[in-house]
Amino acid sequence: MCDLGWIVIIDEFQYFHRKSLSPFASYLQTYVDKLRDTKKGGLFVLGSIHTEMTAILEDRASPLFNRVTRRIDVGHWDFETLFEMFAAHGVMDEYHRLFLWTLFEGVPKFHRDCFEQDLLKPAKDHRRSTLRHLFFEGSSPLRDEAANWFLRELRGRYDSVLKILAAQGPCPYNVLKSEYACAGSSGEKQLGGYLATLMDKYRMVEKLQPVFAGDASRKARYSITDNFLSAWMLALARNVQSARIQPLEKPIGRADEILKNHEGYAFEKMIRQLTEECSRKGVGDFALTDVVRGYWNKADGSDIEIDLVACNEEEKIVRFGSCKRPAKAHDGKALENFNFHIERFLRTKEGRRFSGWTVEKALYSPKFPAKQRKILSGGGYACLDLENFRSFLSP
């Protein structure tokens, strides 16, 4: 208590959206309206599930609609913290780190679940053991996580849209529209409405644009924002259901194989975020003057496609990057294609903006063997893996 009144903090506020607790919102409304202009203290409500908090505070039918005066969005752990946590628990294998990040990003709650199940440690069978204990057994703590929290508020065809985006990866609108129609739905206007709600209200979907493209560009792709939700919709949901009628190892194996393929896209996203965090903290080997994007001149990626375009306008340096989950995939054919796409891009309208700039070429994988790194570096490529980024952020 202070001279101005009371300061009240309510944690886990999303629980008040449950039917048994929902009358509390009306009770709270009375006091909020009574005290909101009196400068008699303050009320802070904290919640980790965006959909639930949105339903309580932003839905027009909610008693607390339009009562919020300030918002603070607290993001996930950054990579510096994540690497520190991995080191503390002996998770040093780069592919183990990628596996965990593909599932959980930097959400502390999920990593705590791993720790409490004695899974946050090095182990030969860490992939299937983690999936089994966290998702597939009857007492698994994350078995119903997506249904209970991420998807609880969704109605209509939202589920169909998310399943399509999970299956397709970053998806152009025309593919999304075609798949949506094949799923038994119709109406582009209806799809547009669902997509807008998933982006603007629930923040479950993001719109990706190639470098230099405007918001209205038809080259846009749509992608599920959250790693956990994407992995659940793509690899886990159906297989967790199958585990009810099949020997457990079969659906776990299928889920694991799907996730290995999915990690390719997740790794690309990871590298972009790592590059931005290093630049923001003034470490690493590239200082950015803009966010990191990719480039594609057709939404379906059928022509020119570059995974990463990083710009330093002050020093006139542009870095093009290629991301591969297995380091061996950076072979002669892949390098030839990478160089060809860069050359073609530099001849485009967008690419000509880099005329006279220094061009760098970078290759990314979770881990580069020393011999391969030496050969590729000798060919003029910067080779960066997760250990490099860890050393940048935690020297």
- Give counts: helices (H), strands (E), the chain: 16, 10
The span from the CA of 321 to the CA of 383, in Å, is 10
Question: Per-residue pLDDT averaged across 215-242, rounded?
Answer: 91
Whole-number pLDDT of residue 44: 85
Average pLDDT, the chain: 89
- Measured CA to CA in angstroms, residue 233 lies from 118, 149, 151, 178, 230 at distances of 25, 14, 10, 19, 5
Residue-range domains of the chain with CATH: 6-57 (no CATH), 284-393 (3.40.1350)
CB 209 within 8 A of CB 219: yes
What confidence score (pLDDT) does residue 373 get? Answer: 97
pLDDT grade, residue 69 (50/70/90)? confident
Indicate whether 395 pLDDT > 50.
yes
Per-residue CA distances from 375 to 100, 179, 334, 371 (Å): 30, 43, 15, 6
- Position 3 scores a pLDDT of 59
Residue 148 DSSP one-character state: I
C-alpha 277/C-alpha 101 separation (Å) is 16
Give the mean model confidence (pLDDT) for residues 183-201: 79
Cα 106–112–115 angle (5° rounding)? 120
How does residue 348 score in pLDDT terms, banded at 50, 70 and 90? very high
Stated pTM of the model? 0.87
Q: Which of 372, 287, 295, 370 is nearest to 338 (CA)?
A: 295
pLDDT at 156 over 80: no
| 256 three-state secondary structure | helix
- Residue 311 makes CB contacts below 8 A (sequence gap 6+) with 211, 288, 289, 290, 317, 318, 319
Tokens 């990191």 -> residue: 292
For 78, 216, 377, the CA distances from 105, given in Å and listed in that order, are: 9, 29, 30
Sign, CA dihedral 210-212-218-220, equals positive
Q: What is the pLDDT of residue 1?
A: 43
Task: Quote the distance between the C-alpha of residue 289 and its chain's center.
Answer: 22
- What tokens appear for 199 in the block? 């982006």
Structure tokens at 383: 């080779």
pLDDT tens, residue by residue, 113-124: 999 999 999 999
Q: Is the pLDDT of residue 107 over 50?
A: yes
What pLDDT score does 149 carry?
66
Average pLDDT rounded to a whole number, residues 20-26: 81
Q: Categorize the per-residue pLDDT at 298 as very low, low, confident or very high, splitting at 50, 70 and 90.
A: confident
Instruction: Please report, in angstroms and rounded to a whole number, the separation of the first and last CA atoms in the chain.
Output: 43
State mean pLDDT over 225-240: 93
Instruction: Say how far apart CA 328 and CA 310 lie, in whole Å.
Output: 24
The DSSP annotation for 180-236 comes to HHHTT---HHHHHHHHHHHHHTS--EEEE--TT--TT-TT-EEEES-HHHHHIIIII
Take residue 357 and report the two structure tokens written for it. Answer: 């700039």
Report the b/e string of 68-101 with b at 16+ CB within 10 A: eeeeeeeebbbbbebbebbeeeebebbbbbbbbb
